[in-house]
């Protein structure tokens, strides 16, 4: 029987909160050093924004993306220093960068600068108010796809999160029309998301192209453990493939449900959510009920995870 594998998963936008990483930075030098490294790379105090806010500044896409990456990588480094070595990994949207840093494919400083740029490009791609996103709950993905094709204007599946949860993105009017149709077809809920644009839709193709030009200028190495791409739901193995997938990811749907299923098929039975919140743990539980889930975002959750690992040695 194949050995059970452990996967590290990294959260994306929406999991941020004021105070994330603060307690661990106060207790563990490796966490504090990681935040200091990010401040140096960006030439401003991202650490203060994470620890103290204000929330309206933290939730700006250009700030949220590096803030989440830094917090997740700092926690991963802390875990790694205590012997944690995942067999495979993935990240949700922005979280894919955290996974690639953890796997040694991209330097931390390059990743921080890249996701800062990514956030700026995504914010600027569509004028404010002209694009949005909505979660459709309780409909099969095929039905959501069919409804998108019926609506005038641009509205497309943006993330396939879990069974019965598809997020759509596009022109604001088209998204509202899709929500009405989805409810008429029996959706349990259709909910607008608090986002600044229609992320992971074709409206961001230009942003992806500009990001691709930047990615061509930074060194990328093969990952030391398999990292599953949002775009293909399969491991990316070469620098060329990583660059191409990261550029496409901005305007392509996030295939999270498939990624988790493929990691399970590869032997993953335990998932550690490394970073703020438990959004991914909730999605994974709906995809694979038998999965064993952990999250590490605070001193308490860090110690609980260490005790669980120690008990098995």
pLDDT tens, residue by residue, 58-114: 999 999 999 999 999 999 999 999 999 999 999 999 999 999 999 999 999 999 999
206-257 pLDDT, tens digit each: 999 999 999 999 999 999 999 999 999 999 999 999 999 999 999 999 999 9
For 158, the 3-state DSSP assignment is: strand
| Mean pLDDT of the 17-33 span | 98
The mean predicted confidence, pLDDT, of the chain is 96
- Give the helix/strand (H/E) hosting 18: none
pLDDT at 310: 60
pLDDT of 194 reads 84
pLDDT at position 196: 81
Confidence of residue 312 (pLDDT cuts 50, 70, 90): low
Tell me: pLDDT of 311 over 80. no
Max distance between CA atoms of the chain, in angstroms, equals 58
Give the active site residues: 93, 200
8, pLDDT greater than 70: yes
The pLDDT tens digits for 38-66 are: 999 999 999 999 999 999 999 999 999 99
Q: From the centroid of its chain, how far is CA 46?
A: 19
In CATH, which superfamily holds the domain spanning 5-125+203-312? Answer: Malonyl-Coenzyme A Acyl Carrier Protein, domain 2 (3.40.366.10)
Q: What is the pLDDT of residue 128?
A: 86
Section 21-44 average pLDDT: 98
SS3 content of the chain, % helix, strand, coil (to 5): 50, 15, 35
First to last CA, the chain: 20
What CATH fold (topology level) applies to the domain 131-195? Answer: Alpha-Beta Plaits (3.30.70)
pLDDT band at 1 (very low <50, low <70, confident <90, very high): very low
Please report which confidence band the pLDDT of residue 309 belongs to, taking 50, 70 and 90 as the band edges: confident
Residues of the chain with CATH 3.40.366.10: 5-125+203-312
pLDDT per residue as tens digits for the range 251-284 = 999 999 999 999 999 999 999 999 999 999 999 9
Cα–Cα distance list, 284 to 142, 148, 262, 272, 291 (Å): 20, 25, 12, 11, 7
Give the model's pLDDT for residue 4: 84
In the chain, ranges of CATH 3.30.70.250 domains:
131-195
Instruction: Tell me, rounded to whole angstroms, the distance of Cα 194 from its chain centroid.
Output: 16
At 3 the pLDDT is 72
- Quickly state the pLDDT bin for 313 (edges 50, 70, 90): low
């Amino acid at each position: 029987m194949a050995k059970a594998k452990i996967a590290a998963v990294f959260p994306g936008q929406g999991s941020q909160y004021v105070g994330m990483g603060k307690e661990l930075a106060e207790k563990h030098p490796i966490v504090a050093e990681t935040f200091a490294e990010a401040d140096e790379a960006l030439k401003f105090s991202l650490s203060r924004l994470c620890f103290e806010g204000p929330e309206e500044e933290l939730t700006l896409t250009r700030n949220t993306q590096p803030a989440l990456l830094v917090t997740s990588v700092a926690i991963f480094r802390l875990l790694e220093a205590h012997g944690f070595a995942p067999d495979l990994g993935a990240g949700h949207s922005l979280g894919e960068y955290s996974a690639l840093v953890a796997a040694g494919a991209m330097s931390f400083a390059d990743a921080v600068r890249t996701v800062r740029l990514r956030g700026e490009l995504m914010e600027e791609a569509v004028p404010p108010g002209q694009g949005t996103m909505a979660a459709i709950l309780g409909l099969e993905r095929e039905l959501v796809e069919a409804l998108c094709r019926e609506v005038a204007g641009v509205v497309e599946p943006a993330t396939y999160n879990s069974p019965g949860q598809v997020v759509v993105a596009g022109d604001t009017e088209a998204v509202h029309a899709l929500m009405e149709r989805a409810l008429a077809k029996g959706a349990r809920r259709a909910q607008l998301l608090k986002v600044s644009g229609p992320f992971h839709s074709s409206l961001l193709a230009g942003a992806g192209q500009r990001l691709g030009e930047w990615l061509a200028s930074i060194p990328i190495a093969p990952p030391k453990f398999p990292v599953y791409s949002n775009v293909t739901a399969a491991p990316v193995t070469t620098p060329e493939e990583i660059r191409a997938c990261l550029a496409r990811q901005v305007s392509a749907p996030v295939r999270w449900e498939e990624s988790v299923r493929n990691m399970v098929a590869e032997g993953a039975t335990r998932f550690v959510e490394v970073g703020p919140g438990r959004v991914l743990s909730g999605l994974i539980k709906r995809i694979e009920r038998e999965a064993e889930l952990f999250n590490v975002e605070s001193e308490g959750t860090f110690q609980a995870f260490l005790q669980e690992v120690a008990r098995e040695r």
